[in-house]
Structure 1
Amino acid sequence: MNNRKRHVANVALRLFVEKGIQQTSIQEIIEQANISKGTFYNYFSSKNDCIAEILEGLRYDASQIRMEMQMGKDEKDRQVLIEQISILIQLNEERNLNALFEASLSSNEKELKKLVLHHRMYELDWLAKRLTEVFGYHIEEYAFECTILFYGMIQHIMFTMRVTNMPRSIHRIVDIILSYIELIIPKMIEQNSKLLDQSAIHLLRANVDRRIITVKELIELAQHIEKEATFTQEQQDLFTVIISELKQERIRKCVLQPLLKPFQLTFMKTPLEAQVNTFTSMVWYFLKSL
């Protein structure tokens, strides 16, 4: 983003924080940035396009700061991770971005929600990756859930401190809550327990991306499962009916939906459990779009 465009984006961000996104008009941005309408539309096709650029700029700034912090240091350095998390929380606090994000998510603007959810997803993926690097790749399948637990704790601890006017050290908060996550991880591994399996995470991504799932994609995934599995008679019967229904010109929700859970349950604690969970979640999501 060039300097002039960045200036306009910064002005827009200030107005969005002060007044709210929906309450800020493009004309106000133009006047505050001291540019012509043509210049604004040369940079951004719409207000949402402006927001997308702002969020992209925030992600770029964060990635640059984080890379600088990590440069020349061990990727497993816990203190580096604490600094990387703390700096972004600090920046968001200073810019009052969390309030802006929450207001966006509670609005009726679908495109706006999607932009903010994409931004949140980027942060979740980044921290899940860093937790895996710092604590070891044996925690990889638990890292995303740990990330959600971490940010949930951060959010509510900081909220409580804010409303009670308690002194806050973001670095100390991050350090202590990270230590809680470190205690939780061994228990998750020992018990092989997760509240979110891969199918739930896949569904979350599908909702964020609003990706259109096709029948062709579902059939291909089903065929892959069929190649990997040795079906019991019950599994084969359910599978046959599900695939047959998916191939119909008019897919009947009332037929498919009751079959998904029984099919999924027959694969519990089997090597194909995760794949079948993903498949049934995708079918469920596809049926919602009909």
Structure 2
Amino acid sequence: MNKRKRHVADVALRLFVEKGIQQTSIQDIIEQAKISKGTFYNYFSTKNDCIAEILEGLRYDASQLRMEMQVGKDAKNREVFIDQISVLIQLNEDRNLHALFEAILNSNEMDLKKLVMHHRIYELDWLGERFVEVYGEDLRPYSFELSILFYGMLHYMLFTTRITNTTRSLHHMVDVLLSYTELIMQKMITQRTSLLDDSVLHFLRSKIDRKVMSVEEILEMAKNIEEEATFTIEQRDLYDTIVSELQQERIRKSVLQPLINPFRQAFVHSSVEAQVNVFTNSVWYFLRMN
């Protein structure tokens, strides 16, 4: 999302939280963002489209921060894992998104409810994959259910601290709840027990419409960047290495993952910064899903 589009989405979010989604008109957003009607419709077709972009922007910000936290670190590092979990929750709190989510879930807007569900299932999937990375493949049959249990505990702890105006360190809260989850996971593995069967998990996962780009599509994005940018030596070296690896029959995650953040950083403030951000995020997501 470019800076101007992000500004409009931020204004819309503030209005949605302050006034309510139904009470906020597109004209309200246009006036507060100081843009023309044409500009708004160039970015968003509807208010729902605007909310979809807000959630996508949140996931993008969280994914970039999580990548930065993990670069050069052991994938099993528990402290990094805690920080990665905390970052999305902190973004939610900073932007008051919990109020937006509650308003949507209490509304009759099925399309908006679906957007929130997609957002949450995406996060459950991310946490489940990280559980497996940190604690081992034996956990995979139980990882999605553990994500549900963990976020259930965290959600109601945050709800309680919010309504009681209690101050708690988010890092400490995640750390303690993770320690509880570690006890649960050991019991699930040793006793081979879970509450949800595969059909339920498959149904939940099928509700999220996310697109994993093919290698060919990612390489096409890379080609477009090359055509529009004038590379420095550092940028060229990183670009050639990434593209070369993507062209291999067996793409090595261990080679590509450490290059993603340096490549993105190399194009900060450049004319193709936005394209590079989309490209690196697509590569990261492709590696996650393959």
Normalised by the length of structure 1, the TM-score is 0.70
**Contiguous gaps of at least 5 residues in structure 1:** 210-290
Asked if structure 1 preserves the Cα contact closer than 8 Å seen for 2:86 and 2:174, the reply is: yes
Cα offset for 1:138?
0.8
- What pairs with 1:1-290 in structure 2 (closer than 5 Å)? 1-207=1-207
Q: What is the one-letter code of the residue matched to 2:128?
A: A
Cα offset for 1:81?
0.6
Q: How far apart, CA to CA, are the structure 2 residues paired with 1:123 and 1:33? A: 30
Cα offset for 1:167?
2.2
Q: How far apart, CA to CA, are the structure 2 residues paired with 1:51 and 1:34? A: 19
Question: Alignment partner of 1:50: what SS?
Answer: helix
Q: 1:34 to 1:151 in 2, by over 3 A?
A: same
Cα offset for 1:4?
1.3
Q: What's the % identity of the aligned pairs? A: 70
Cα offset for 1:198?
1.1
Q: How far apart, CA to CA, are the structure 2 residues paired with 1:146 and 1:120? A: 14
Cα offset for 1:208?
5.0
Q: What is the one-letter code of the residue matched to 1:88?
A: L
Question: Alignment partner of 2:73: what SS?
Answer: coil
Normalised by the length of structure 2, the TM-score is 0.70
Asked if structure 1 preserves the Cα contact closer than 8 Å seen for 2:70 and 2:80, the reply is: yes
Question: Alignment partner of 1:80: what SS?
Answer: helix
Cα offset for 1:206?
3.5
Match of 2:262 in 1: none
Q: How far apart, CA to CA, are the structure 2 residues paired with 1:2 and 1:186? A: 44
Q: How far apart, CA to CA, are the structure 1 residues paired with 2:66 and 2:101? A: 22
Match of 1:218 in 2: none
Q: How far apart, CA to CA, are the structure 2 residues paired with 1:113 and 1:164? A: 27
Q: How far apart, CA to CA, are the structure 1 residues paired with 2:166 and 2:45? A: 43
Cα offset for 1:115?
1.0
Could you list the per-position Cα deviations for residues 121-144 of structure 1 after superposition, in whole angstroms to 9, with x for gaps in the alignment? 111111001111001111011010
Could you list the per-position Cα deviations for residues 12-67 of structure 1 after superposition, in whole angstroms to 9, with x for gaps in the alignment? 11111211222211000000011111111111111111111111111110100000
Aligned length: 209
Question: Alignment partner of 1:100: what SS?
Answer: helix
Q: What is the one-letter code of the residue matched to 1:150?
A: F
Q: How far apart, CA to CA, are the structure 2 residues paired with 1:172 and 1:65? A: 19
Q: What is the one-letter code of the residue matched to 1:64?
A: Q
